[in-house]
Amino acid sequence: MAEETTPGAAGAESPGPVAALMGQLAMARAFKSVVFDDNTKTWQVVRYDEAVQVLTDASTFSAQLDRVMPLGTVNRGNLGFMDPPEHNQARALVGQAFTPRTVQELGARMETVTEELLTGLAGRGEFDLIADFAYTLPVITIAELLGVPAEDRALFHKWAQARASTTSAVTDVLKDEKVMDALREQTEYFSEHARARRKNPGDDLLSQLTQAELDGDRLDEEEIANFAGLLLMAGHVTATSVIASAVLALDDNPDQAAALRTDPALLPGAIEETIRYYPPLSQAFRVTTREVELGGETIPEGQIVVAWMLSANHDERRFTDPQKFDIRRDPNPHIGFSRGVHFCLGAALARLEIRIALEGLYRHFPNLKVLPGTEWHDNLRLIGPRYLPVGTGG
Which helix or strand (DSSP H or E) is residue 287 part of? Answer: strand 283-288
Please write the tens of the pLDDT for every residue from 41-96: 999 999 999 999 999 999 999 999 888 877 666 667 778 888 998 888 888 877 76
pLDDT at 10: 38
Q: Is the pLDDT of residue 171 over 60?
A: no
User: Helix count (H) and strand count (E) of the chain?
Assistant: 14, 14
Please state, in angstroms and rounded to a whole number, the distance separating the CA atoms of residues 98 and 330.
27
Least confident of 99-113, 129-143, 243-257, 287-301: 99-113
* 3 state DSSP class of 165: helix
Q: What's the mean pLDDT when you consider all of the chain?
A: 88
Sequence-separated (6 or more) residues with CB below 8 Å from residue 101: none
